[in-house]
Amino acid sequence: MTNPEGAQETRRHDGETAGPPSDQPPSGTDDRSEQGGTEDRSKQGGTEDRLEQAVLAAERALIEFEIAVESFRVEVENFSRLHHQRLGPMYARLDELDALIAEAVAAHSGERDDIRRAWEARALVMPMPGVEELFEGLLGSDGVRQVDDPQAPRRVRPAEEARRLYRELVRKAHPDLARGEEDQRLRGEFIARVNEAYAQGDEAALRSLAEEWEAGPAPERPQLTKAEELYARLEWLAQRKESLAAVAAELEASAIGQMMKLAPQDPDGLLNEIAEQLLSQVSERERRLADLVGKVDRAEG
């Protein structure tokens, strides 16, 4: 008769043991699972690290691009205002001289077409300053009216020190670096003051703002760890750069932008050159007008 206990013992010895499975994994399983989990976390961390570096690089590139666009916008705006202030009166003087010349030609010839052209020229002219204004000092030494603009900048391109201070402030305080709505609001208000000071070329104000920023609490910048947030940040940065590129293209395509391309390194010198050309044209037209008036006077005499 077979011994059940002996058979059971034999089966256990042969590895055919009956009964419930053990809760313990086979030897070595824990080590392999832990190693696999560590590798997965390492791969995920490496991906997030690369994404974070890409975000930081994109932020720096965007800020540099925005500095360039904003600097160009300031120069275009300043050029436009100074162009109006300094050269607007000269253009008005030329229009007036053209009207006077057309009227002198019409008076001399009496032709219908000359009379029509004289009327058209006169319709384009702004009223010339009265004689009493000469005594009030409203005309400059060049004989043209100065346009009042208390907020007019001193020059088109701010000085090098102002540009340096401006770039440093924007790189530190730009709203694109914000990590929250409140931080973005505060940065936006601060940068608006920076832009205003830069537009005026006010180095003292820019230095004061730099001190204010350094004295203030450092904005919190929580470390990003989620890949989804990093991808969203990269997408937003790309959209922001695209919108800035559209602004830059519009500025370059404007009349003032096209004019500034004639002297990108010295826009202030370009203004002076245009002023000299206009003064030369004023002198030439005044000589022509004097000749025509002399002819009319001789004909009437």
Angle at 102 between CA 99 and CA 107, to 5 degrees: 125
How much is the pLDDT for 149?
54
How much is the pTM?
0.58
In the block, residue with structure tokens 């088109």: 156
pLDDT band at residue 218, thresholds of 50, 70 and 90? low
* Spatial separation of the C-alpha atoms in residues 12 and 2, rounded to whole Å: 16
The Cα 5–Cα 208 span in angstroms is 95
What pLDDT digit, counting tens, does each position of 41-95 carry?
666 667 888 888 998 999 999 999 999 999 999 999 998 888 888 888 888 889 9
Alpha-carbon span 229 to 234, nearest angstrom: 9
Nearest to 178 by CA among 227, 228, 219, 229: 219
Tens-place pLDDT, residues 1-36: 444 444 444 444 444 444 444 455 455 555 555 555
Query: Which tens digits make up the pLDDT trace of 257-288?
Result: 998 888 888 989 998 999 999 999 999 999 99
